[in-house]
Structure 1
């Protein structure tokens, strides 16, 4: 058996799974997007562009998604990085596992239950009532972009923490000691050594969170109260409520195209950072 044949056999299971579970469904959605809504809902075969021409009708959902998904990703990064840095660099090794378990404890319960907990906390009997008690009146938190953003950060923070933690935990601590011995201040060591070497973890965490947020629908539905729609909410409405599968497929294809463009631009930016980091290290 040749080396090429052996590699082909090893890749065959994953390749088959990828073809059946990803490419075929996307192909079906693409075909549906050129069809029409049936008389009683669903899909009627056709080849028209009417569904794509009607995409601006869902602009609000796209705008909310393309606004809150990047903001939620960036906010998660800002919160997760110090936590991951503390766990990887500052904490005694014997406590790392315990603290990491505490980070993933929220994942042990359903996102539905956790979202309902935030509905109470951000509702009239939660934080607004506490603010009213201290003299800050008429504060509305629930059913706003802010409440959706809070739910996003809470729900996806562990997915940002772990890649960054792994990247920082593998960091050679001798590099930090060498930087300190050469007279660099802590902030300079962080900017020139720690941060550049943790870029792979940051890139992975941002990618995971951003891609999942682009398809999110539960958090906006519960914490947005029907006032903050994501594309995921629009898809649920089109496929399950309106039963307009053709239009829903066109919206889904548009979302995939937007994600591909965004991810491509992001990866090129990350690759350039990698080149710059290598150039700096060589100097």
Structure 2
């Protein structure tokens, strides 16, 4: 069974603004852009309304400024949840209506509809053979990217730490071959072996809340709402040619061509900041992540 997974430290590399009115449910990086999907929770202090606000959306966001480049809503009858890139299209799920959508990654035009059984919380693609879907329990469904829009899993697995189920798994991201998940209502991210479901490490982001509060950038109404929790992991595994990479955050191949280095960001619901972080885990060769194949299928 083994002992509990270790807790790893992290370092904040940079922080950038983002729309603090966005109830962030899904968060990922692709095409040099942040993609953020949001839910339709009324803002604190908003007068009660007969219908929920039409704020469940898919957004393209400029990473350096937090500027929303484009936004498409999916209707107030749906509570938007997680999102991811699958091949050349975006996928977004909803909470309890079993409704899901695909989008063009540039225009954000809705290109299709699909569904699945149960609740939808988080979704992530490993870039290879697995699309992961969470539902707020300790169980992860694994769909195949060639037919994930059928909503039929090829397998499921339970996430455990020292043999104990880890429930309330929320937003997902595949990071350097591991499946990472926010644990709802906590400041914890768990790092999961996507084959066995075993938690192999964890991060506690509590000091990010203190950092935003002490900087005076986080409104008390949101901060004290109880809903503005950690929720959002975005990963750029790097390895792409970039003319300026050697002068900024890139590395050099033996042939001399500059490539981008891996980058990792976190954020939360109604958070005013996105944080770029590095994780202090000497057992992981973060620079080699670009060469990794996806994992998750036997």
TM-score by length of 1: 0.22
Bigger relative contact order (CA 8 A; separation at least 6): 1
Structure 1 or 2, whichever has the larger Rg, is 1
Larger strand proportion of the pair = 2
